[in-house]
Amino acid sequence: MAQFKPCILIPVYRHGRACVEVVEHIRQYHVPIILVDDGNAEETKQYLRHIKQTYPDVELVVLGKNQGKGRAFKAGVIRAKELGYSHILQLDADGQHDATRIPFFVERAEASPSKMICGYPEYDETAPGHRKNAHKFANTWCAIITWSNTIVDSLCGFRMYPTEPTYRFVTKKYFDSRMGFDVEILIQLMWAGVGTEFYPVKVTYPSDGISNFHAFRDNARISWVFTRLFCKMLVLSPVLLWRKISRHAQNDGEK
């Protein structure tokens, strides 16, 4: 593999003030930062311009209109590849993720460079009940679609991706552009042969009191993503069955 060169990618929509705090905190880890302005209103744009003026080394990608987390992530991945980064750590802009976990995730990605290093949430008392239920719902469907219990959590946005397979996915595949994105990219990359490791990340909701998650609309979108993935799973069933048999045979051979 080429030289290990990670970056942090933060899609930003409406969380301008919180993003300033996030960037100020994570700079101590000396990992390059890419922000994506996902078609924000002027107030948030001012915060992002302030970050760029204060820290000129922070890369800022600007989208003309709001396109959703998935499309903002895509724009950031394309820029990360252009800049030669080998790995991309996705981090939410609202400050909900425990950023002190960044060095550990970077360390794990360097040790297992072909894998996704994924976070799973450790909630505190600020976590809304509907968000917990959404995670449980998604994780149950992931077990059905992937024929395994390897996915500890499919919605947590704290995740380190190897750039090359991620770039191929976002530039060549159809995917949900909004809240179903984290589920879809995880499962699709797993089907493409990208391995996973899961580690805990403390989660607080959110530091600026703004949530972009809408319970009915976004749970409906996530449900539609699982419907599409379930249909694709049926088509891939022979391949998935062969992989499952091969893994069992390998495990038996190692005993």
DSSP 8-state code for residue 194: -
Read off the pLDDT of residues 139-148 as tens digits, 9 standing for 90 and up: 888 888 887 8
The pLDDT of residue 160 is above 60:
yes
- Nearest Cα residue to 201 out of 117, 107, 137: 117
Q: What is the percent of the chain where pLDDT is above 70?
A: 86
Whether this prediction's pTM lies above 0.75 is answered by: yes
Is 70 exceeded by the pLDDT of residue 149?
Answer: yes
pLDDT at 219: 63
Of the listed ranges 92-96, 162-166, 248-252, the one predicted with least confidence: 248-252
C-beta separation of 102 from 29 below 8 A: yes
What confidence tens digit (pLDDT) does each residue in 179-222 have?
788 999 999 999 888 999 999 999 887 655 666 555 556 667 77
Check whether 89 has a pLDDT greater than 80.
yes
